[in-house]
Amino acid sequence: MKSKDVTTKTMKTRLAALLLIAALFLTGCGNNDSGESLKPDADAAREAIDIALNYRSILEGEHNDGFTTLSSDTMTQIMNAVADMGYAVMEASGELDFKNPQVVTDFFSKLETSTSAQMTIIEICYDGGLIRSDISVKDGKRTISITRVAWKDSEPEITYTIESDLLDLRYTDNDYLIYKRDIPDNTGCNHDGYIDPTTMIRVIPLDEKCLEYCEKYISIIGYERNNLFLTDWTSEDMSGVVINDLFTMLYRESHNQELALYNCPYNTDLETGYTSIPAEDFELLIMDYFNITGEKLKMWAVYDAEKDTYPIAASEIYDPGYSAPPVPEVISYEENGDSTLTLQVDALYAEYGTDKAFSHTVTIKVEENGSFRFLSNKMHPSAEDTLPVYKNPFSLYN
């Protein structure tokens, strides 16, 4: 495998890209997603306008009434300015660290001894506007009031206010704030389709090494259309892994480009959706990333001996009803003395509102030149696990 150098900024950006679109829907930086706009609370509205006015000078020269996407540098300046006012601050994509996390932790600490607490979180949107979320617990009743501020003719204005009951509100051991809004008539409203009522916010950032190792070794495979990290295996026995799935992902990693129909150098049967990879090409690529022989590959992978090829499958064969997969997070690691890494991974599954849908341990061998090989995966099952449905696309191959 080729060695590559990945910066922390790049890692956060790539992870953010997986979640940005969902985050916009979850937190409301798009349109009003409730279908009903309430009269804004006077104090909350005034404070939201004041916050926007406080950073207006930072927008000058870049902002264009919602049609210009803020740069990362400008977003950072705005978040720092709002954080200096004492507010908890975030941005939708998760690329930048949450500011003033003590606002959230103090809120939940208060609820340990009281039935009432309140906190405000400001989300800066990439159009230069903001979302003010006031989360309140009063005598056990949990509510959220959301106020959206946008810019018009260089002046901030309230575009909508939404108030909802909260069906779930918690702070997890992995430092996520998770809440679920009660949206009775959730038919899509001003968006196309269903609006996920669950919001998940990382409050305390992960260790920089955790981010690095996740990007380099785990996210390149992930949990989409493969079962490498969904089952137990070792280099001595990979019979439970559908190895053919991995070729497309490892090809992307090795060649720095997607293996798509329009640029595929291999023969694809358009009727079946299977692409035939010559055995030499398939085995060389897989052996770059795993301690496995060609003989074992022919045993454990789907191999066409007559053609001396291995099939890979088009995405449509996997699941025509595709849904967003979980996202891996390396939450801890051990750098062992034998040049191996042991990575503890939790799966973040926004669809189910959990930051620990399941857990597993991945062991990797890292060479001096930066190349690496996967050595094993160990699942840590529990009664609360929620694994993505995996459909083996080669079950009907013949």
Backbone angles phi, psi at 338, to 5 degrees: -100, 25
Cα dihedral sign, 48-53-55-56: positive
Which portions of the chain are predicted below pLDDT 50? 2-10, 13-14, 17-27, 33-37, 188-192
Backbone angles phi, psi at 173, to 5 degrees: -65, -25
pLDDT at res. 61:
65
pLDDT at res. 258:
86
- Give which of 257, 277, 210, 238 is closest to 373, Cα–Cα: 238
pLDDT at res. 69:
82
pLDDT at res. 67:
53
pLDDT at res. 321:
58
Given a contact cutoff of 8 angstroms between Cβ atoms, the answer to whether 171 and 203 are in contact is yes
Backbone angles phi, psi at 330, to 5 degrees: -80, 115
Instruction: Quote the CA–CA distance of 397 and 139 in Å, as a whole number.
Output: 59
Given a contact cutoff of 8 angstroms between Cβ atoms, the answer to whether 350 and 196 are in contact is yes
Question: Where exactly are the structural domains of the chain?
Answer: 8-205, 206-398
Burial class (CB in 10 A: 0-12, 13-18, 19+), 52: buried
Instruction: Quote the CA–CA distance of 346 and 101 in Å, as a whole number.
Output: 21
Listed as own residue / partner, the contacts of 381-386 with beta carbons closer than 8 Å and 24 or more positions apart are 382/358, 384/354, 384/356, 385/357, 385/358, 386/349, 386/352, 386/354, 386/357, 386/358
pLDDT at res. 60:
83
- Give which of 2, 388, 4, 383 is closest to 215, Cα–Cα: 4
Tokens of 106: 């103090």
Q: 3-state secondary structure string, 222-275?
A: CCCCCCCCCCCEECCECCCCCHHHHHHHHHHHHHCCCCCHHHCCCEECCCCCEE
Burial class (CB in 10 A: 0-12, 13-18, 19+), 104: buried
Instruction: Quote the CA–CA distance of 148 and 29 in Å, as a whole number.
Output: 8
What is the dihedral angle through the alpha carbons of 228, 234, 238, 242, rounded to the nearest 10 degrees? 0
pLDDT at res. 347:
98
